[in-house]
Chain A
Amino acid sequence: GAVVSQHPSRVICKSGTSVKIECRSLDFQATTMFWYRQFPKQSLMLMATSNEGSKATYEQGVEKDKFLINHASLTLSTLTVTSAHPEDSSFYICSAPRDRGGYEQYFGPGTRLTVT
């Protein structure tokens, strides 16, 4: 079946540094990928839609200069958390729809970011 991977699975960084998270679709091409943030025991909050070859679309309240998204190819999207602060600590999840119009999402395993 379709697989979406994320790297790294866990990362600890110091406050003020930047962290890059990769999301790859392994056996299909994804012109669109989604980035979510999940707080402990809470639902997924859509942060942005990553579009291959064009700018990402950010949800209201998400700082585009802080959460940089680049969809470099049909199988890779990256999320860079710039100048990270402890409040950015969270579980970041990406997903990709396999088929146009199906809305069914394949999710990556998530990346646990801890900012100290």
Chain B
Amino acid sequence: DIQMTQSPSSLSASVGDSVTITCRASQDIRNSLAWYQQIPGKAPKLLLYAASRLESGVPSRFSGSGSGTDYTLTISSLQPEDFATYYCQQYYNTPQAFGPGTRVDIK
């Protein structure tokens, strides 16, 4: 099974800051990676897929990059509605594991 890790597990930032979250897979997942945002009490929301493709309707301040085993999610100019937990997920093969999540808090 492919294992997913994320770092950091949490971070504190201010409105307007740029933040980067890293996701690492235990083997090459060939860009088969999605990022989700979850606000407490709500279902996850798709942000990006295929490592760097922005889902329709998602603001352009969200961007993704990476290849092989290492991927990043960058949020430029954090907005108040961006304080949430972010998860990566590989869909290269089953089980399609999620990373443990990164919580982004207000500093």
- Is this pair of chains taken from one and the same complex? no
Binding site for A on B (CB under 8 A): none
